[in-house]
Structure 1
Amino acid sequence: MPQPLSGKDSQLFRQLVKQYEGKTYKKGLKTADQLLRSVPNHGDTQAMKALIMNSMGQGEEAFALAKVALKNDMKSHVCWHVYGLLYRSQKNYEEAIKAYKFALRLEPDQMNILRDLALLQMQIRDYAGYLDTRKKMLTARPLIRQNWTAVAIGHHLLGDYKSAERVLQSFEETLKQPPPKSDIENSEAILYKNVIIAESGETERALEHLDKVLRNTLDRTTALELRAEYLLKLGKKEEAEKAYRTLLDRNTERRAYYDGLEAALGLDRSDEGSIEKLMEIYDFYAGKSERFDAPRRIPLDFLKGDAFRTAADKYLQRMLQKGVPSTFNNVKALYAGVDKKATIEKLVLGYQSQNSMNGSADGDSATVSDRFQEAVLYFLAQHYNYHLSRDLSKAMEYIDKLIKMRPKSVDYHQTKARIWKHYGNTKKAAEVINQARELDLKDRYINTKCAKYQLRNNENDLALTTMSKFTRNEAVGGPLGDLHDMQCLWYLTEDGEAYLRRGNLGLALKRFSAVADVFDIWQEDQFDFHSFSLRKGQIRAYVDMLRWEDSLRAHPSFTRAGISAVKIYLRLAEEQNDKSSQKQSSDNAANDLERKKAEKKAKKELEKLQKAEAEKKAAAAKNNKAKTVDGEVKKEDTDPLGKKLLETKEPLEAALRFLKPMLEFSPKNVEAQNVGFEVHLRRKKYLLALACLNAVKAVDPENPVLHEQAVRFRQVVNELKDLAPQVSETIKSTFTIILEDADLKAYNSEWQQKHADSPAHLRSAYSVRYILDNSTKAECESDLKSLLDSPSMTAEQAMKGLEYLNQWKSDESTKKAYKEAAAQKWPEATIFA
């Protein structure tokens, strides 16, 4: 039992609780101290004081005081509740749940504790526990609708659709009169019930229910979409056709509705007999308004031959006459078909020829307007810049013509910068995009693009200055701090990759860790929606959010940053191995000298950055003295340069923060599996490494990196003598890429011959040759250089060659000769300069 207080002290305690809830923490501390002077060992007051201290950033002191409070009053549910809240603030959800459950033993019907417990159980996806807690809350307060809805959600997420539906039905039966049509919560609950019925597999009953409640739903678009989907699924084609036509009357630009209508009519785009009927549909909707784009663009996906040429000609002329800048982006998906790409190119070149339309399918030769001619040139510039139709010299010729016509066009300068980027000249790309930015200083988009190009050119400080034009520079940490607060993933990733290219591993890892922190915040932020969504009745959106959060780290931004971070940790692991090895061959003396030079250069740059960071910190401290709110302390970054991250003693274990989510949520990402293999092989987790190999094999069995890693894996497992019998047996049965008794040199030679026309595969073959026999180093270097003469070789692939030379620890003269040869073939690429 909580310690009793006098009437005056009880009033003070209630005031203390209100001050905490109102976030007036300084006043709350004074009130708590006043109470404790009167009752020094009052556990509840000490617990509330600990809660306030924790909110003010004094976490360690708060925990110490909370433990004292528990010692003074072990049977106080308030003390245990506060103890759980402290653990919850540290994201230690398991311990918080234990504390809540202990508090509930003392006070089983305390609604605040039950609510907090339910929220945490949902956060950790303990659906069974959540359902049990919510049932208790429903029993205590059966008149509140959200308690019924929460129990239904618990059943639904556990897969018990019948019980979920029954709970929602039971609440509807308790209503003495039907809610008004304007009741959003009721409308959402009705649609949620319908979704549950549909997910249970009873589509027919879901349709019947939807027909009954359709008039009472406020989200009419969703209801109509569900109805059309159910009709199509049940094979009621005529009714489904009417339903999709109703939806198209509401929104003629939605492609999904056209797909549904085609399915309802039983039309197949690959069937030539269906083409005429398909065109009737699209011509009908195109004729409804001159503004509609979808019914004119979609037929280009399935038309072929002369029919495609005629339709494409009509579509392109319509768009180019209007001068629509996005015309190329609208049709570039068609370039996957070689014939369609050639047809579009021929048509547009015809429009451009002699300032007339003599390239059109109908032979019209009317004079072209200036706007049309300008749009045609812009289309061609983008066409020749696109990777499936790339001819950068032609693209540059067209864009230069356009810039002469309109020297102040932001779009044209931006396209020119993109052409330079594809040349590999990041310096000129950054200069041109900056010219585009200066043409419109109020355009946030072009400002952002400029910063990205500057980062691609490794100009980190300049890029931050560019971004500062549109950031809250008075925020703690300046522009960079605001970009962190705004969770600007693209900037953090690009900034990290630029530092990685510059060799500043600390700051690179700092940025990639910041990306991971953003995903942690997103996962944590869902906590507030567990109560908010129920309170507002947005149930369907809430369930969708939960399912999205469950696969949150499948996001490409996490994978991209994660792969780079894992590569840094692998480098750190290699450096630790190099330092721990006591033997160094005389052949590595030159490499050691280069390494020492690089370390010296990196140290100087680090000292420079530390000095700049210290100056920024001093300026920020001067400007931000008054930037705390009622005692709430802003967290200070104790490792601004990422030095502590680099000092980790177990880099391979640290890499698992990024690697585990990637392998779980992005199993088909080949590069993620490749780096996963490298980490697990070094950790001597051979079955996990084998799982990565098999995952890559399932996606891309001819992957070049897979070839290298499979050979290395076979080498390792053949040499191991102390493998556990179960592990050895599993490897024998599941590692089928290379047989146990295979001649690895012969296997590599066969693989090389099989892929004789692919530079990427040949590089891997040379790498394997070097792995199997270090004495072939000179031959491998020579063959790698000769690959530059291959007609299918790209600048990006040539850059990969440099990575192999670094792996083989080639001397500087070899690398220099390789760069010079590459620079002759790609004179504009700055990487080879």
Structure 2
Amino acid sequence: MPQPLASKEAALFRQVIRNYEDKQYKRGIKNADLILKKVPRHGDTMAMKALIMNAQNKTDDAFALAKEALTADMKSHICWHVYGLLYRSVKNFEEAIKAYKFALKLEPENSQIQRDLAILQVQMRDYQGYAQSRANMLKARPQLRQTWTALAVAHHLAGDLVEAEKVLTTYEDTLKDKKPSRSDYENSEAVMYKNTLIAEQGDYSRALEHLESAAKHNLDRLAVLEARADYLARLGRNEEAARAYRALVDRNPEHPEYYQGLLSTSGVAADDFAARKAIFDEYAAKYPRCDAAKRLPLDFLQGETFADAAKTYLAFMLDKGIPSTFHNVKHLYSDSSKKDILASIVSEYLDSHSKNGTNGATNGDESKGEAAALYYLAQHYNYHLSRDLPKALEYVEKAIERIPNSVDFTMTKARIWKHMGNLPKAAAVMDEARALDTRDRYINTKAAKYQLRADETEKALKTMALFTRADSPGGPLSDLLDMQCLWFLTEDGESHARQGNTAMALKRFHQVHDIFDVWNDDQFDFHSFVLRKGQVRAYVDMIRWEDRLHEHPFYSRAALDAVRVYLGMHDKRGSANGANGGAAGENEEQEKKKAARKAKKEQQRMEREAAEQSAKQDPNKPVPAAAADAKKVDEDPHGLKLAATTDPLKDALKFVEPLLQFSPKNLAAQLAGFDVHIRREKYLLALRCLNAAIALAPTDPKVHERTVQFRHVVAPTLASLPPAAAEVLKSEFPALAESSPAELQKFNDEFLEANKKSPRHVHAGIRARKLLGGDKAECESKLVALAGQEGLELGDAYEVLETLRGWGSETGGFLEVVKGRWPEASGFA
């Protein structure tokens, strides 16, 4: 039991609690000190003071005082609750849960502690514990609907769908005397949630029955109609399902999935193209402005029928001058016959308009007709499946001649220069497109992205500043961080990595990582908010989305970039300890000094810009709230501490582990995991990644290279490894038993012979040969010979060049050939 206080001190203690809740921290500390002056070892007061100190960012002092409070009163639930809150504030949720459970043992009926515990359990995905906590909360307050719904959600997340449905049914039975009104949103959501629970059990017949009774007048009409059509189709009641899908198409004729559902339930055979097209023709006539009804038949039509339908569709789109015409049909290019037909149709259309002049259908609009056809053909020849960049540039130049101020045409010209490899030229042209419409955020963003690709980082930041808050205290970059602008941070980090600025590159990649941590933490407040608002289906979807958060492409990209930087740092330090250690060490020291100078210049520039902004500001104008609020100071704004790490591989694990856990089918992630673990000499972990990579892409050249590396590195060490580890390695990777230098050389030579027409495979095979001790001069000459091999793409050429530079080889011969193949490529300068 908490230590008793006299009436005056008890009143002061209640005031301390109110001070904390009202964020009156100084007054709270003062009142707590008054109590402690009279009762120096009062645990609850010490705990509340610690909580207030933590809110003032005095975390270390707060923990020390909280521990002292526990020693003063181990049996106080307030002390344990505060101890849990402190751990929660530093995101040590496991210790916080332990503290909450101890507090509940002392005060089982405390609803606040129970609620805090439940939220932490769902945050940590302890669904069994969450269900138990929610059951306890239901016993305490059975009159609230949200407590019943929360318990159902807990069972649902734990995988017990039957129990979840039973909970909702039990609550519904209590409402028989008082039926909810039709406008009750919370009840409407709960009914649809119960319906999804029944459907997830696979009982579609009962789900349909429930939908047509309890959910008949549900407020979410679209969800009801979609679920009804789906259930009818699954139950084989095709006539009713077809009518349901027709109702959905009438509701939204642009939704492709509704048409797919209608086709699957209308009894039309998959190869009866005429009957399938008739359905689309019906809706094309019914809704003349509907694009989906005209476009979707192109997916399944073939031959002359396809050509006729495509001609009608493209003529309509080009006459209208719709910019998205090519994007609407480019998915058809996977079929080479359709690709050729589409190109010939547009070419014929262009020829007819060039000979006869602009068709009357264009109504004199220059962006329609001939210009639209030129724009289509420029995109056609720029597309990777039909690429002919000189032709693409020719067509886009003709289009720009007709409409010089077209943003779309100029953007396409920039993309063509990008594919030619001339990134500075592409950035300049994209900036010209931006200047044509300075109020368009999208084109502004594209211009900044191209500038970053051309390593014009300062210019890109100034471009982004055109659409960031002018009064942002830390300048445009601070605003971009506040807006969690992932693409900019990722591109900026990659640009710094290309320029050799390791510190800033790591800073950007860690900022992306931190943003994903923030997204993960943001769900914390929604655990109680969403249930209180009754949006249960959205809540379950959010939980499932958060579970896949680190599968996000931007996280994978930034994480892989960071791992590459850390691996480069480790390999450089490894070479510094070798024969040329002195020179390598001096180079590394010079790079650090160079990075420090860059950071200092950047800091001076930012301070200068901040001073100029402050001078421009009207002194009579009130300070913005964002600037007035005290922000946490970034102690490493230029990433110098990150770049000064003594263990790059350990830091790389911060990025590798989420990748391997949440993106196990990402080949690049498995290869990155292998690269880190093989350097750490964690051979079992490296083998796990290698086996996963082999399962995903057994013929990939990079997988072959890692396979050779693993056998070459691990086989000689088997005798020195613990017997249990060696036995696992042999059983999980039998090829280790046959990994002598001669056998590995033979294995690699067979790979090269089987894939001699693929430049990527040959590159990997030569790298493996060099790893196995092959003659360096011979390997270099074979890599240089790749420059003229058919099938070598621009990206592959850059990788070969990077390999040659990594070996310290002469690159003149290689550059001479690739410059002839890609004369515009800026990467070969």
Q: What interval of TM-score do these two structures reach, taking the shorter chain for normalisation?
A: over 0.9
Distance 2:85 2:687 in 1: 43
Local SS of the residue matching 1:3: coil
Distance 2:435 2:51 in 1: 51
Local SS of the residue matching 2:143: coil
Residue 44 (structure 2) pairs with residue 44 (structure 1): yes
Further displaced range: 521-530 or 259-268: 259-268
Distance 2:226 2:355 in 1: 43
Q: How does 1:650-661 map to 2 (within 5 A)?
A: 650-661=647-658
Shift of 1:28: 3.5
Q: 1:799 to 1:701 in 2, by over 3 A?
A: same
Distance 1:492 1:27 in 2: 42
Further displaced range: 291-300 or 819-828: 819-828
Q: 1:422 to 1:741 in 2, by over 3 A?
A: closer
Distance 2:436 2:181 in 1: 55
How high is the TM-score relative to the length of structure 1? Answer: 0.93
Residue 819 (structure 2) pairs with residue 823 (structure 1): yes
Residue 97 (structure 2) pairs with residue 85 (structure 1): no
Q: Is the 8 A contact 2:319 2:369 kept in 1?
A: yes
Residue 593 (structure 2) pairs with residue 603 (structure 1): yes
1:712-754 alpha-carbon deviations (Å, 9 max, x no partner): 1111232122233343333333325687157222222221121
Q: Which residue of 1 aligns with 2:467?
A: 470
Shift of 1:43: 2.9
**Pick aligned residue for 1:291 from 286, 289, 292:** 289
Q: How does 1:75-154 map to 2 (within 5 A)?
A: 75-154=75-154
Distance 1:675 1:642 in 2: 22
Q: Which residue of 2 aligns with 1:806?
A: 805
Q: Is the 8 A contact 1:378 1:398 kept in 2?
A: yes
Q: Which residue of 2 aligns with 1:240?
A: 241
Q: How does 1:148-547 map to 2 (within 5 A)?
A: 148-175=148-175, 176-269=177-270, 271=271, 274-355=272-353, 370=366, 371-547=368-544
Distance 1:17 1:626 in 2: 32
Shift of 1:642: 1.3
| Letter of the structure 2 residue corresponding to residue 177 of structure 1 | K
Q: Which residue of 1 aligns with 2:690?
A: 693
Further displaced range: 397-406 or 545-554: 397-406
Q: Is the 8 A contact 1:350 1:357 kept in 2?
A: no
Q: 1:61 to 1:620 in 2, by over 3 A?
A: farther
Distance 1:619 1:289 in 2: 56
Local SS of the residue matching 1:388: helix
Further displaced range: 473-482 or 490-499: 473-482
| Letter of the structure 1 residue corresponding to residue 49 of structure 2 | K
Shift of 1:614: 4.9
Q: Is the 8 A contact 1:25 1:630 kept in 2?
A: no
Shift of 1:537: 0.4
Q: 1:737 to 1:563 in 2, by over 3 A?
A: farther
1:423-463 alpha-carbon deviations (Å, 9 max, x no partner): 11110111111111122222111111111111101111111
Further displaced range: 210-219 or 280-289: 210-219
Q: How does 1:630-649 map to 2 (within 5 A)?
A: 633-649=630-646
Q: Is the 8 A contact 1:130 1:154 kept in 2?
A: yes
Q: 1:235 to 1:715 in 2, by over 3 A?
A: same
Q: Which residue of 1 aligns with 2:17?
A: 17
Further displaced range: 244-253 or 87-96: 244-253
Distance 2:85 2:41 in 1: 21
Distance 2:605 2:61 in 1: 31
Distance 1:275 1:163 in 2: 47
Q: Is the 8 A contact 1:496 1:512 kept in 2?
A: yes
Q: Is the 8 A contact 2:472 2:626 kept in 1?
A: no
| Letter of the structure 2 residue corresponding to residue 4 of structure 1 | P
Name the Cα RMSD after superposition: 2.6
Q: Which residue of 1 aligns with 2:781?
A: 782
Distance 1:44 1:603 in 2: 53
Distance 1:320 1:770 in 2: 55
Q: Is the 8 A contact 2:320 2:362 kept in 1?
A: no
Distance 1:749 1:70 in 2: 69
Shift of 1:297: 0.6
**Pick aligned residue for 1:709 from 691, 696, 706:** 706
Distance 1:610 1:471 in 2: 24
1:514-570 alpha-carbon deviations (Å, 9 max, x no partner): 111111111111111110111000111111111111111011111111111111111
Q: 1:732 to 1:56 in 2, by over 3 A?
A: same
Q: Which runs of 5+ in 1 are unaligned?
A: none
Q: Is the 8 A contact 2:788 2:818 kept in 1?
A: no
| Letter of the structure 2 residue corresponding to residue 233 of structure 1 | R
Q: 1:357 to 1:59 in 2, by over 3 A?
A: farther
Shift of 1:676: 1.3
1:297-336 alpha-carbon deviations (Å, 9 max, x no partner): 1100000000010000011011111110010110110011
Distance 1:99 1:628 in 2: 37
Further displaced range: 5-14 or 468-477: 5-14
Shift of 1:34: 4.6
Distance 1:151 1:450 in 2: 50
Further displaced range: 724-733 or 280-289: 724-733
Residue 750 (structure 2) pairs with residue 750 (structure 1): yes
Q: Which runs of 5+ in 2 are unaligned?
A: none
| Letter of the structure 1 residue corresponding to residue 191 of structure 2 | I
| Letter of the structure 1 residue corresponding to residue 746 of structure 2 | A
Residue 559 (structure 2) pairs with residue 558 (structure 1): no
Q: Is the 8 A contact 1:355 1:367 kept in 2?
A: no
Local SS of the residue matching 1:640: coil
Distance 2:31 2:322 in 1: 67
Q: 1:470 to 1:11 in 2, by over 3 A?
A: farther
Q: 1:277 to 1:669 in 2, by over 3 A?
A: same
| Letter of the structure 1 residue corresponding to residue 305 of structure 2 | A
1:116-149 alpha-carbon deviations (Å, 9 max, x no partner): 0000000001111111111111111110111111
Distance 2:283 2:772 in 1: 65
1:763-815 alpha-carbon deviations (Å, 9 max, x no partner): 112112212234x21111111111111232121111000121133232xxx12
Q: Is the 8 A contact 2:715 2:736 kept in 1?
A: no
Shift of 1:36: 4.2
Distance 1:15 1:125 in 2: 36
Shift of 1:381: 1.1
Distance 1:214 1:207 in 2: 10
How high is the TM-score relative to the length of structure 2? Answer: 0.94
Local SS of the residue matching 2:652: helix
Shift of 1:189: 0.6
1:52-83 alpha-carbon deviations (Å, 9 max, x no partner): 22222221122222223323333222221111
Residue 46 (structure 2) pairs with residue 56 (structure 1): no
Q: 1:827 to 1:486 in 2, by over 3 A?
A: same
Q: 1:482 to 1:629 in 2, by over 3 A?
A: closer
Q: 1:67 to 1:25 in 2, by over 3 A?
A: same
Count of aligned positions = 816
Q: Which residue of 1 aligns with 2:731?
A: 733
Q: 1:572 to 1:630 in 2, by over 3 A?
A: closer
Distance 1:627 1:54 in 2: 27
